[in-house]
């Protein structure tokens, strides 16, 4: 079962999405969750009251150091090594991680 998304989390996610529109990022769905994509590659998603980001090593370790952050497991029982879940409590960092994820998937 997918975690419930609060109005605040959706609003913060929508703000991140709007900030990346000019770069060509579009909204979609993957793993049954809202996500952000560029050229059909997923860079971030909304998972309950948290955002997930595909990050390179240094930003990934920085994100994992945040209280409550963890590797993302979309429900298959196996965390995805490049993906980090960043809780709503750290939503001020979401735009930064979204930008870093965008650069990472563009490579």
CATH code: domain of residue 81: 3.90.1150
Confidence category of residue 32, pLDDT binned at 50, 70, 90: confident
Q: By three-state DSSP, how is residue 31 classified?
A: coil
The answer to whether residue 2 sits within a structural domain is no
Q: Across the chain, how many H-helices and E-strands are there? A: 3, 6
Question: What range does the domain containing 41 cover?
Answer: 7-106
The answer to whether residue 1 sits within a structural domain is no
Angle ∠(51,52,54) on CA atoms, nearest 5:
145
pLDDT digits (tens, 9 = 90+) for 44-90: 999 999 999 999 999 999 999 999 999 998 777 888 899 999 999 99
The two structure tokens encoding residue 33: 């969750």
The answer to whether residue 84 sits within a structural domain is yes
Look at 3 and 59; give whichever has higher pLDDT. Answer: 59
pLDDT digits (tens, 9 = 90+) for 88-100: 999 999 999 999 9
From the list 1, 13, 3, the residue with the least C-alpha distance to 88 is 13
């Amino acid at each position: 079962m997918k975690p419930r998304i609060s109005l605040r989390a959706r609003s913060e996610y929508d703000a991140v999405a709007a900030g990346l529109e000019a770069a060509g990022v579009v909204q979609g769905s993957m793993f049954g969750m809202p996500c952000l994509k560029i050229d059909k590659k997923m860079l971030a998603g909304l998972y309950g009251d948290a955002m997930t980001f595909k990050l390179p090593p240094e930003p990934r370790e920085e994100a994992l150091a945040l209280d409550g952050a963890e590797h993302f497991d979309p429900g298959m029982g196996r965390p995805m090594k490049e993906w980090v879940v960043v809780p709503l409590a750290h939503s001020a960092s979401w735009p930064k991680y979204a930008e870093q994820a965008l650069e990472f998937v563009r490579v």
